[in-house]
Amino acid sequence: MVEELLAAGVAAAVGVTVYVATAARIVKQYERGLVFRLGRLRAGVRPPGFTMIVPVVDRLRKVNMQIVTLPVPAQEGITRDNVTVRVDAVVYFRVIDPANAIIEVEDYRFAVSQMAQTSLRSIIGKSDLDDLLSNREKLNQGLELMIDSPAVGWGVQIDRVEIKDVSLPETMKRSMARQAEADRERRARVINADAELQASRKLAEAAGVMADQPAALQLRLLQTVVAVAAEKNSTLVLPFPVELLRFLERAAEAQPVPHDREGGARAAERSPAAAPGVKPEASESAPQPEPAPSGTEPDALDAAPLPDAERAAVEAAPDTVVGASAVPELPDVVPESGTWPAAGAAPAAGRSRADPAEEPLP
């Protein structure tokens, strides 16, 4: 009898141990438990910790209450200003009602992902490119509102939605780069022009001071020379004062032009026909007149006025011309044609120059 009781007690203990091992469940701190008995949801949510269910009859479903980070795949769309872009985002959400998250929707993760993709494409079509690039906070709020509206009935709360990246075509990137470069160049030119204006005003004031005090200009010149010489250059450029050039110009204008007293002598030197005893060279194109008889040659002193020194030289040597390097000699025979030959030509046959009686007067 004792043995039977001992065997029954051991069997009961084993049965209780098996039951406890089968019915015992542990719910973690970040989870909540839902019990389905014969497929029907029992009221109440099992809190974290140790809990018991009826084996074979009950089924425990655990729901994660942590915030879930769900990346949204890149969506390609056309903005309101007809620009093709690719936008991807990320959604942060968590379950606030485990019962609705299990009963109202089959897979709340997949449902939130699909809703985020459709809402993102809708936001792209309603926004401009500038809004996508610069006004993302407003777009994030609108996207969060669009996803959160249907997700409330699923027991899911959308904490935050962020647009991660906006991919533009290469042509659009180059166009925007040129636009940004042009804008920066415009601002640089405006700043440079403002600086030039301020510098010109200061230079005008400095020029006024230097005009009142000419010594200031000389000091400035010396400072420039010192600054150039400080660089130890082999060549020193020394500016020439403009005032000195103006002084020389006024002095040149005030000086009278001297009279050329030797103009007659220079003219006589250029025309050897005015000298006595010298016959001009015959030109090939124009014939020369016949020479006058001896004793009737014009006086060279009457032909051109000469200074006293040159007049004395002409009277001492009447057969030469002052300033002439070479005078051709005339032949003693008068040509029959009545014209003298050119310089260097052989004398033609004719009458002698020494018979003036046989030559008819012109």
Average pLDDT score, the chain: 75
Tell me what pLDDT residue 335 has.
52
Whether the per-residue pLDDT at 351 is higher than 80: the answer is: no
Long-range contacts of 131-137 (CB under 8 A, 24+ apart): 132/79, 132/85, 132/87, 132/163, 132/166, 133/166, 136/163
Tell me what pLDDT residue 189 has.
94
What does the pLDDT look like over 63-114, one tens digit per residue?
Answer: 999 999 999 998 888 888 888 899 999 999 999 999 989 888 888 999 999 9
What is this structure's pTM?
0.50
Alpha carbon dihedral 242, 247, 249, 255, in 10-degree steps, equals -170
Picking from 170, 163, 69, the residue whose alpha carbon sits closest to that of residue 123 is: 163
What does the pLDDT look like over 172-219, one tens digit per residue?
Answer: 889 888 988 999 999 999 999 999 999 999 989 888 888 888 778 778
3-state SS string over the chain?
Answer: CHHHHHHHHHHHHHHHHHHHHHHEEEECCCEEEEEEECCEECCCCECCEEEECCCCCEEEEEEECCCEEEEEEEEEEECCCCCEEEEEEEEEEEECCHHHHHHCCCCHHHHHHHHHHHHHHHHHHHCCHHHHHHCHHHHHHHHHHHHHHHHHHHCEEEEEEEEEEEECCHHHHHHHHHHHHHHHHHHHHHHHHHHHHHHHHHHHHHHHHHHHCHHHHHHHHHHHHHHHHCCCCCCCCCCCCHHHHHHHHHHHHHCCCCCCCCHHHHHHHHCHHHCCCCCCCCCCCCCCCCCCCCCCCCCHHHHCCCCHHHHHHHHHCCCCCCCCCCCCCCCCEEECCCCCCCCCCCCCCEEECCCCCCCCCC
What does the pLDDT look like over 278-314, one tens digit per residue?
Answer: 444 444 444 444 544 444 444 444 444 555 655 655 5
Using the CB atoms, write b or e for 53-72: b if 16+ within 10 Å.
Answer: beeeeeebebbebeebebeb
How far apart are the C-alpha atoms of 195 and 231, rounded to whole Å? 27
Picking from 247, 248, 243, the residue whose alpha carbon sits closest to that of residue 210 is: 243
Which residue has better confidence, 99 or 351? Answer: 99
Which residue has better confidence, 218 or 146? Answer: 146
Tell me what pLDDT residue 309 has.
57
Helix then strand then coil, in percent of the chain rounded to 5, is 45, 20, 35
Tell me what pLDDT residue 323 has.
42
Tell me what pLDDT residue 190 has.
94
Give the residues across from 1 on adjacent strands: none
C-alpha torsion sign, points 105, 108, 114, 119: positive
Which residue has better confidence, 244 or 35? Answer: 35
